């Protein structure tokens, strides 16, 4: 099949990007993300082949809105761009590179992150080290979001990148974020239903600790490949972790999970408190490789919770 590439119109910074319309990295309800290359300094783009174009160029990501209204597309991109720029130079957040608000196809360009936590889960590559990288960074991530006067509103494994070179978690997708500068409950524009979401979303409110709950759900998924539901879900999550990893969870770790997943938003730890709890657990157990998967046939392998391999794509 012939590969067809499209150069974009010049961006805000006067750059031109090359993308292939069927090379979609990922897609949510509102947006599509493509792998793209900045070809502004490449003299000849006619007849360019993928290999020639990309060998020496750094991959980037272009996000396009899927809204059918051009003005809505522009508003969405503009909004996300402004939110993303609040996290410039913070390495736990995907970095803004460029954008264009030109109709009909406004776009946002960001750095490329090699993996999402979701991909790693589905490839059976989640391991003890990544769990701790996540835990140790998540308090700071939540604190940074809060300090910028934002609730991310959609923390989940498909919106969390991971760069193995720097071992950094990278937050992306501010498409459902809300700004607020007071530390209280706020009405959501729409009720949000979803297995990842905290109970307050289902009644139409977002709290300063809603992101913490979702980060706890991501942790549960990373450790079990599954999200429990119902009144005893936290205890079931703990049981699942103990069963899948063949261990008794130390209280310091249970406290983290119980705190993050508390159905009452007022009881969840603040980011600073979460950091203290994680440090305590790390000091107690971090150096032991406790999160190992018990494989079929009782064979322990040190990395890769590969029973998760066959999870359906984007189940959550």
Ligand X SMILES: Nc1ncnc2c1ncn2[C@@H]1O[C@H](COP(=O)(O)OP(=O)(O)O)[C@@H](O)[C@H]1O
What residues make contact with ligand X under the rule CB under 6 A?
Answer: 25-28, 30-31, 33, 61, 63, 94, 110-113, 116, 158-159, 161, 172-173, 175
**Contact with Mg ion (CB under 5 A) among 146, 173, 200, 262:** 173
Instruction: Say how far apart CA 129 and CA 291 lie, in whole Å.
Output: 9
Identity of the residue, 63 or 254, whose beta carbon is nearer to ligand X in the bound complex: 63
Identity of the residue, 161 or 271, whose beta carbon is nearer to ligand X in the bound complex: 161
Task: Please report whether residue 118 would count as binding Mg ion according to CB under 5 A.
Answer: no
User: SS3 of 212, please?
Assistant: helix
User: Are residues 92 and 160 in contact, defined by beta-carbon separation less than 8 angstroms?
Assistant: no
Identity of the residue, 26 or 259, whose beta carbon is nearer to ligand X in the bound complex: 26
What's 9's DSSP letter?
P
Identity of the residue, 28 or 304, whose beta carbon is nearer to Mg ion in the bound complex: 28
Instruction: Say how far apart CA 164 and CA 8 lie, in whole Å.
Output: 30
Binding footprint of Mg ion, residue count (CB under 5 A): 3
- How far apart are CB 182 and ligand X at their closest, in Å? 26
Q: What is the dihedral of CA 101, 102, 106, 108, to 10 degrees?
A: -50
Contacted by 30, from Mg ion, ligand X, none: CB < 5 to 8 Å by type:
ligand X
Task: Please report whether residue 258 would count as binding Mg ion according to CB under 5 A.
Answer: no
Identity of the residue, 180 or 316, whose beta carbon is nearer to Mg ion in the bound complex: 316
Contacted by 110, from ligand X, Mg ion, none: CB < 5 to 8 Å by type:
ligand X
Instruction: Quickly list DSSP for 49-115.
Output: -HHHHHTTSPEEEEEEE--SSHHHHHHHHHHHHHHHHTTTT-TTBPPEEEEE--TT--EEEEE--SE
Q: Which residue is nearest to Mg ion (CB)?
A: 173
Query: Rounded to whole angstroms, what are the CA distances from 309 to 121, 122, 295, 296, 316?
Result: 7, 5, 12, 13, 15
**Contact with Mg ion (CB under 5 A) among 8, 159, 224, 293:** 159
Identity of the residue, 112 or 134, whose beta carbon is nearer to ligand X in the bound complex: 112
- How far apart are CB 225 and ligand X at their closest, in Å? 18
Task: Please report whether residue 28 would count as binding Mg ion according to CB under 5 A.
Answer: yes
Burial readout 172-202 (b: 16 or more C-beta within 10 A, e: otherwise): bbbbbbbeeeeeebbebeeebeeebbbebbe
What residues line the site for Mg ion (CB under 5 A)?
28, 159, 173
């Amino acid at each position: 099949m012939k590969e067809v590439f499209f150069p974009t119109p010049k961006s805000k910074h006067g750059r031109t990007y090359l993308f292939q319309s069927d090379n979609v990295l990922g897609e949510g309800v509102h947006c599509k993300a493509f792998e793209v290359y900045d070809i502004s300094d490449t003299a000849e783009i006619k007849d360019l082949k993928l290999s020639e174009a990309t060998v020496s160029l750094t991959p980037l990501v272009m996000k396009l809105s899927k809204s059918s209204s051009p003005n809505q597309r522009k508003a969405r991109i503009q909004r996300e761009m402004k939110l993303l720029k609040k996290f410039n130079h913070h390495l736990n957040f995907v970095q803004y590179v460029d954008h264009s608000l030109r109709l009909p196809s406004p776009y946002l360009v960001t750095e490329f992150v090699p993996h999402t936590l979701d991909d790693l889960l589905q490839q059976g590559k989640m391991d003890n080290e990544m769990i701790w990288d996540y835990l140790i960074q998540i308090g700071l991530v939540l604190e940074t979001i809060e300090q910028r006067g934002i609730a991310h509103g959609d923390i989940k494994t498909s919106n969390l990148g991971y760069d193995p070179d720097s071992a950094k978690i990278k937050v992306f997708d501010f498409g459902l974020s809300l700004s607020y500068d007071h530390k209280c409950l706020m009405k959501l524009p729409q009720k949000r239903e979803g297995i990842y979401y905290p109970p307050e979303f289902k009644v139409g409110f977002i709290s300063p600790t809603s992101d913490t709950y979702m980060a706890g759900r991501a942790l549960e998924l990373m450790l079990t490949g599954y999200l429990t539901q119902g009144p005893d879900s936290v205890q079931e999550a703990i049981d699942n972790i103990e069963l899948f990893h063949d261990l008794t969870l130390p209280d310091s770790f249970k406290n983290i999970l119980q705190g993050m997943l508390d159905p009452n938003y007022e009881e969840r730890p603040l980011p600073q408190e979460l950091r203290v709890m994680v440090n305590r657990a790390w000091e107690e157990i971090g150096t032991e490789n406790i999160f190992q998967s018990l494989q079929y046939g009782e064979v322990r392998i040190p990395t890769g919770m590969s029973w998760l391999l066959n999870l359906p794509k984007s189940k959550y």
